[in-house]
Each structure stands twice: as C-alpha cells, then as structure tokens.
A and B are shown apart, each in its own frame.
Chain A
Amino acid sequence: MSKYLLNKFLFTVDRDPELVERYREAPRELVTWWEATMANSLLNCHDGEDSTWLAFTDDERDALIARDHVRLFAMGAHPFLALTLFIAVFERDNTEPLEYQKAYGAALSGYTLPYPDIAT
C-alpha cells in the first residue's frame, strides 16, 4: 500500500484546474491516465528522471476511481488533501451551504480514535 502515491494523486490533481474537472467528469479515465503518466513523475524534473517503482494497488486505484473518501480515509490517505480535492469536485452540487462537507463527515461516523495512521 502506498499512502505516498495516494497523496501524490490528491496533491497534483487538486492543484490543477484542468485535472480537477477531468476527475469530476471522467474519474476512471483520469486515474488511468494519471497512473500511466504522472505517478512516476519526479516533480520539478524532466521526464528523463522519472521514478521507476510507483504504482497503485488494485484497491487504491478502485477507491480513487470510485471517489470513495471513506476507503481513502481507511487507507491512511491524508485527510486534508482528500477533503480539499473532493470539495472541489462535489461542493458545486450543494443545495444548501456546507451540505457536502457535512455529508462527508457523516459518512466517516463509524471511525473513532485512533484514526488510521497517515504517516508516510
């Protein structure tokens, strides 16, 4: 399991307006493309310096495609990164203020302390 790679996905997609929209519109396509092209990209380096070893497990890939923040929480993905990106994807569908944010927390109500470890 690679918490680092999950976080790298959340981090790089969240900071890029185009990728946020692609994740909203076509999550399977975006996740597949990202793993093939960006998972091993060493940030701030040209592609000749790409890493050689980073890949999602099947569970991680499925959770990202399903945009399942509860499974990502269980895997130890960083909760701030997940929240920020998922608000970007889903908040625009709110019918009242904070509707999505509250539902996001309620979906995690089965968790008590200690939460899954987020150390990478």
Chain B
Amino acid sequence: MATIVAVVASTHHPFYYRASTSTGADRPPFADEWTRKILAFRETLTRANPDVLVMVGSDHFHQLWLDNMPQFLVGKAPFYDANWYNEEREFGLPRMTLKGHEDLSSHILRNGLDEGFDLAFSNELRIDHSITCPIITLRPEADLPIVPIYTNIFAPPLPQPSRFVQLGSALRKIIEQWPSHLRVAVIGTGHLSLELGGPRQFGPHGPDPAFDEKAVGWIANGDLDGCLREVTLDSLHSPGNATHGFMDFMLMMGVAGAGVKADHVDTLDLFHTMEAYFTWYPSGVPGISGRLS
C-alpha cells in the first residue's frame, strides 16, 4: 500500500513569488526573513522524498463558477496547466504545467464516492495559485505528479467545517489503502484570518491576530475538538470576510489526525495576513525515526 510520508498545510500568499524573486529597491524589507522561513519549510517536504503530491486548494473563481459550482472536486487529468491571466497581472505568477497522476485520482474518486462524499471531477482543469503557491514554495522544480482537490470556500452555501475535517480523515484512509508502492505527500493551503474586498483589508497585520494565534495553536496541536467547538460557518465571518479559507486547514487537520502535533510549525506576521506553515510526518520523521529511509 502507499505510504503518506508527509502532511503539509500552509497559507498561500500569492505575493511570495514576486517578493522572493525581486532584487534591489524592488525587494521588500521582509523578503529575506520570508525566504528563510520558506526554505526551512521546503526542507520538511524534501526530506520526506515524496513521489506524488495530493494538493488541496480552492479555485478563486477561475474555472469553477456559480452556474455549476461543485463543493468538492477532484482533478483527473494527465496534465494541469496552471495560473491565470489575472494572477499574472496582479501577482506576477508564472505559467506552469504540472503532470497529473490519473491512477491516484481514480482511486480517490472511486473510494471517496464509496465513503459517502459525492465528489465532482474534472478531466481538464487549469489550476490556480491555491495550488501553485505551495508548488513554488515547497517544490519549485514542479517535477512531481499531482492530484488536485478543490474545495468550495468562496461561494455560499458552503459545506460545514466538520465536513472538511471528515473529508480530510477519509482522504488519509483512502490514500493509505491505495495499492501502490509510492510515497505520497498531502499538501493543503488555506487562510488564517483574512479580509478581501472589505473595510479590514490590507492592514499592517491580519484582520484578527487573536484568531490567528488561536488557530495556529489548534493546528499545531491537532486540537480538532477545540477547533470544531468554536468554528462555525457563522463564526468565520468575524475574523475576516475571507476566513472561510480556514476550513482548508481544518481539512488538513483531518488528514493529520486528531491530537497529532505537527512536527514543524512556523509563522510570519506580514501585512494583510499571517503566514503559517505546518508539517506532520505520519510515517515517522525522516532520518530520525529510522522507519523511513
């Protein structure tokens, strides 16, 4: 059976690419510290030596639209072109093409449906920065095949937070039952407190630092009980009008497992939002436990 060698969760700040590649007067003062943190975060994936990446993100109204909106969608295609004109325009993101892993996509779709998740699918999916940002930060070679999974955190009505957790738990089980010798990393990106298009946007910090501190604690400690006790679809409006993206972190907590502390935790307080980076090693810490070579 396949092995999950790393579970990785992070924010996806679309300005990282531009900040980290800019030089001279264009380079923002926080770029060096940000890059250092990202390189340390990248190492947590590199050392796990994955063969295939399951990538959880959320389409930002690029290909998925209100005339036909899936709640959870799995890509099943041999290739995924990536990034869109408005992401090049606003963030300077490069066009990319990533390989797909259709066999794992099929396995997740079949078994997800059988586990009670009525997953939508796409055979021609252009992915956006919710998935390419972690490629840029964690695997800039963009050389591993992926299975993209999109969640709806943008267009109400949304699934309940508990449903995101349940899907994460199901993905863990489904991937571990995949008849393959390959090493799988599950990577998901979301948001802490975030405001987009509202009065609290683009402040010196995220819109709700108290929520961010609490949320980082929930994730780092695998505290699903505490998280689910406080987080509801209604409560997520309070930290910022785009904070429903936190439910993708909850999905990743479901993958990592209740009560499981992250092996790598880091944050960076930036303008507009707090960045946060987490890695778990479900099969043992590479090079330390001896369970993985």
Contacts and interface: CB of A to CB of B under 8 A. Distances in A.
Interface of A: 4, 7-8, 11, 14-17, 42-43, 69, 73, 78-84, 87-88, 91, 98, 101-102, 104-106, 108-111, 113-115, 118-120
A101 B84 contact: no
A79 B202 CA distance: 14
A80 B90 CA distance: 13
B84 to A, nearest CB: 7
> In this complex, which of B90, B155, B198, B271 has the most chain A Cβ atoms within 10 angstroms of its Cβ?
B198
B200 A105 contact: yes
Interface of B: 60-62, 65-67, 84-86, 89-90, 154-157, 195-203, 237-238, 241-242, 271
Given A80-B61, A105-B202, 5 more contacts: A11-B66, A87-B90, A104-B201, A105-B200, A111-B198
Given A79-B196, A80-B242, A105-B199, A43 B237 contact: no
A114 B237 contact: yes
A15 B154 contact: no
Contact of A101 (B65, B66, B202): B202
Contacts of A83: 196-197, 201
Contact of B84 (A15, A87, A109): A15
Provide the main secondary structure of the chain B interface: loop
Contact of B157 (A15, A69, A119): A119
A120 B241 contact: no
A4 B67 CA distance: 9
A111 to B, nearest CB: 5
Given A88-B86, A102-B202, A119-B156, A15 B66 contact: no
Nearest to A82: B197
B86 A14 contact: yes
A104 to B, nearest CB: 7
> In this complex, which of B60, B84, B85, B196 has the most chain A Cβ atoms within 10 angstroms of its Cβ?
B196
A16 B48 CA distance: 40
